[in-house]
Amino acid sequence: MHDDDHDHHHHHDNRYTDMQARVRALETVLTEKGLIDPAAIDVIVETYETKVGPRNGARVVAKAWSDLEFADWLRQDATAAIASLGYAGRQGEHMRAVFNTDDTHNLVVCTLCSCYPWSVLGLPPVWYKAPAYRSRAVIDPRGVLAEFGVTLPESKKIRVWDSTAELRYLVVPERPNGTDGWSEERLADLVSRDAMIGTGLAAVPENAR
């Protein structure tokens, strides 16, 4: 469905444009005939953007929080570690996991177009593809984070990672306090899509607030 993250490969452009045009034409015909409700399509797209896709990444993060050996593997060879859970890039792009720490926060962008770790996060949000995010994430990452409601201490460094068609990044947020002994499934519920792009943090459980 989302293919404009491969704009680096210009030989693909026509094919994807044709495909998108056909999908749009089909959607229009079906809507005009009363066979589908555009609102229903929006709900499906929204589900893939915010739930189905990012759940894969959340499982990767939860496993890294729970299993130090897996965390090491993820740090050294994210492509293989992520593939071991069944999530692989469709065009062989490589993954790199960047870990938030006490002194460093990581933020992911694609300044050139909209390269995105779709195998672990699903469809990119609209803002990720917007020129404003793509330029400002590099120039003023702290300001961008503030707009997402994330205020970090001045002492914390922000590293910005620029994705490409060949290399995509997954942010591993810091594990929140108050989650000792939690199962991976329960931990995964704390990990949002935005936390894995770096525009958010892992949710803090109520008992630790």
Residues annotated as part of the active site:
110, 113-115
Query: Residue 17 in 3-state DSSP?
Result: helix
Exposed/middle/buried for 39, CB within 10 Å: 0-12, 13-18, 19+?
exposed
Is 115 a residue that touches Fe ion (CB under 5 A)? yes
Question: Is residue 197 at the binding interface for Fe ion, with CB under 5 A as the rule?
Answer: no
Between CA 64 and CA 180 the distance in angstroms is 14
Query: Smallest distance, Å, CB 177 to Fe ion?
Result: 35
In angstroms, the CA 84 to CA 70 distance is 10
Pairing type for strands 157-162 and 167-172 reads: unpaired
**How many residues in the shown chain lie near Fe ion by CB under 5 A?**
4
Residue 113 in the binding site for Fe ion (CB under 5 A): yes
CB of 115 to Fe ion, least distance (A): 3
Minimum CB distance to Fe ion smaller for 109 or for 202: 109
The answer to whether 83 contacts Fe ion (rule: CB under 5 A) is no
Contact 122, 56 (CB under 8 A): yes
Q: Please identify which residue in 108, 110, 123, 196 interacts with Fe ion, judged by CB under 5 A.
A: 110
Least Cβ distance, residue 9 to Fe ion (angstroms): 10
Residue 202 interacts with Fe ion (CB under 5 A)? no
Least separation in angstroms between residue 7's CB and Fe ion is: 6
Q: Which is nearer to Fe ion, 5 or 58 (CB)?
A: 5
Question: Which among 37-45, 70-78, 102-110, 192-200 is the span making contact with Fe ion, rule CB under 5 A?
Answer: 102-110
Angle at alpha carbon of residue 155, lines to 153 and 158, rounded to 5°:
85
Return all residues near 77 (Cβ < 8 A) that are at least 6 apart. Answer: none
Tokens representing residue 111 in the block: 């300044």
Buried b (16+ CB within 10 A) or exposed e, 135-150: eebeeebeebbeebeb
Binding mask 43-62 for Fe ion (x = CB under 5 A): --------------------
Q: Contact positions toward Fe ion, by CB under 5 A? A: 110, 112-113, 115
